[in-house]
Amino acid sequence: MISQLRPSIHHLGDQIIWVNSEIEKGRTHFNVELTDGVYDLFPNINWCAEIIRYNSLFELNFGCKFTQFNQEKFTECQIPEQPYITIQFDTTQINSTELTPEVKAYVISDDFRNFIIKRYQQKGFEVVDIGGMKYSLSETAYIMSKSKGHVGASSAFGVFSRCVGVEFTHIYYNCSLREYMQILPDHFAGYLQLFSLNGIRHYFKDENLNICI
């Protein structure tokens, strides 16, 4: 098991991973403040009204299996009649003015994003962009649950989609695999292992992509 201790969890993806890590330990009651709606989607847990705000250490278990969300808690909303996938390419690093390793790997360039979307459209899918906080988490879960899969940058909604139980999740990186291993070795050892364990397929920058669906 690979685990990582963090002083606090600000990112939605890490929050979902943390809840999954704790559920795997047998925890059913939570009293830590997370993003609105996160706890609502998990089955068989409860949480206290008096919550603690980020004053504990959080252990992320990079070997945990994700718990499926409770579909009864999804909020129905309008979806396309034709087969579609969900996409999300905005990440927490997208507005950064500094070229950090995270920005270099996770912020998908416009040309590469358009290339990716076109490949799925050529396979007959409509696309529904769930980024930009257009929907609540329960609405996002519903939209994903009716989709054929999720495609996007490495972000919270890749993790989220696996808890929804979509048919496939494809995550894209704005660099080669070799470069990713060099600039973000800790992420490679932790997050990529966790994502692969839970059925996420990774695609690194390559103009000759062969998308497997």
Helix (H) or strand (E) holding 203: strand 200-203
Query: Which pairing describes strands 3-6 and 58-61: parallel, antiparallel, or unpaired?
Result: antiparallel
Query: Which of 92, 141, 89 has its CA nearest to residue 120?
Result: 89
CA atoms within 13 A on the CB side of 16: 27
Across residues 155-179, what is the average pLDDT? Answer: 95
Q: Residue-wise over 19-42: b if at least 16 C-beta within 10 A, else e?
A: bbbbbeeeeeebebbbeebbbbbb
200 beta partners: 169
Cβ neighbourhood burial of 171 (10 Å; 0-12, 13-18, 19+): buried
Cβ neighbours around 146 below 10 Å, total: 17
The pTM (predicted TM-score) of the whole model is: 0.88
Local confidence band at 27 (pLDDT 50, 70, 90 cut-offs): very high
- All structural domains of the chain: 3-67 (no CATH), 84-203 (3.40.50)
Query: Tens digits of per-residue pLDDT, 111-158?
Result: 999 999 999 999 999 999 999 888 999 999 999 999 999 999 998 999
**pLDDT given for residue 211 in this prediction:** 63
**pLDDT, tens only, 35-60:** 889 999 999 999 887 776 655 567 88
Q: How far apart are CA 209 and CA 17, in angstroms?
A: 29
| Cα Dmax for the chain | 52
Q: H-helix or E-strand containing 202?
A: strand 200-203
Q: Roughly what angle, to the nearest 10 degrees, separates helices 137-145 and 156-164?
A: 60
Please count the CA atoms within 13 angstroms of the CA of 168 that sit on its side-chain side: 14
CA distance 156 to 160: 6
